[in-house]
Amino acid sequence: MMQNQQQGQMHQNMHTGAVPQQMNHGGHEVFDLHEVLSGSIGTLNQYMMLRQHVKDQELMNILDRQYQFMQGEYNTTVECFQTGQDPSQPTQSYKMNQGNDFVYGLKPSQPKKPMQTLSEISDEFISGCMLASCKSGASSKTMAALETTNPVVRRVLADSVPNCIEMAYELSIYQNKHHYYQVPQLAQQDMNQMLNAYGPAQGMPQASNTNMNNMKH
């Protein structure tokens, strides 16, 4: 009897569009959310494992701040995904503590190659892993948000993307400051040409005479 009632309710929902709030998710959305949440767990686990190998206190502070923030975002995403409603804690914006100055140019360095032993784990390697995780999170959350039908989950995912970008930017600045990540530039002449390759758009597009004549007919 209960099964017949459930089937009848589902049949009614298909015709009326009335879907329980916690079931207000599309198929693609559910699969993508599983990818996002699994990725978030993987990032948190990676941060936890890498923490014991960190030597630089500045990197340790970045790791701890980012871990705490990511954990809160993970819990918020799980909550609104399961309930379909606004989370009990509103979404937050991640703010890094350092400036945003980059050092440009390339300096001679040793070729990079795979590690041979765990003793080679360095702050360069750790910050690189963290950076890759943040970039991956930004991509997966963006793609999931574009497939999400639940308005609350979509907003939570969309709000999280700038935080992934901010954390990745923080890590790239840290790497650049310690010469782990070097940023080449174009020659000045090439840079100027690239900078001035585009001009501003002006005004509204005007309908051609041919289009106007077709509209009259």
CB < 8 Å & 24+ apart, contacts of 54-58: 54/123, 54/126, 55/122, 55/123, 56/123, 56/178, 58/174
- Contact present, 15 and 9 (Cβ < 8 Å): no
Asked whether residue 3 is domain-assigned, the answer is: no
For residue 170, the enclosing domain spans 22-101+121-178
Q: What's the whole-number mean pLDDT along residues 185-206?
A: 92
Q: Quick check: is 109 in a domain? A: no
Residues 6 or more apart from 191 whose CB is under 8 A from it? 185
Give 210 or 92, the one with higher predicted confidence.
Answer: 92
| Total domains in the fold of the chain | 1
pLDDT band, residue 194 (cuts 50/70/90):
very high
Within a domain: residue 143? yes
Cβ pair 9, 36 in contact under 8 A: no
Decide if 205 is inside a domain: no
- For 24, phi then psi, to 5°, come to -80, 65
Could you tell me the CA-to-CA distances from 180 to 47, 130, 141, 214 in Å, in that order?
19, 13, 27, 62
In a domain, 57, yes or no: yes
**Which residue did the predictor score with more confidence, 46 or 108?**
46
Asked if the structure places residue 191 within a domain, the reply is no
Tokens 């007919």 found at: 217
Query: Per the domain annotation, does 200 fall within a domain?
Result: no
Concatenating the DSSP letter of every residue in 98-127 gives S-----BB----PPP---SSGGG--HHHHH
Q: What are the pLDDT digits (tens) for 20-65?
A: 555 677 787 889 999 999 999 999 999 999 999 999 999 999 999 9
CATH of the domain at 43: 1.20.1260.10
| Distance, CA of 86 to CA of 21 (rounded, Å) | 11
Summarised one tens digit per residue, pLDDT across range 120-162 is: 999 999 999 999 999 999 999 999 999 999 999 999 999 999 9
In a domain, 2, yes or no: no
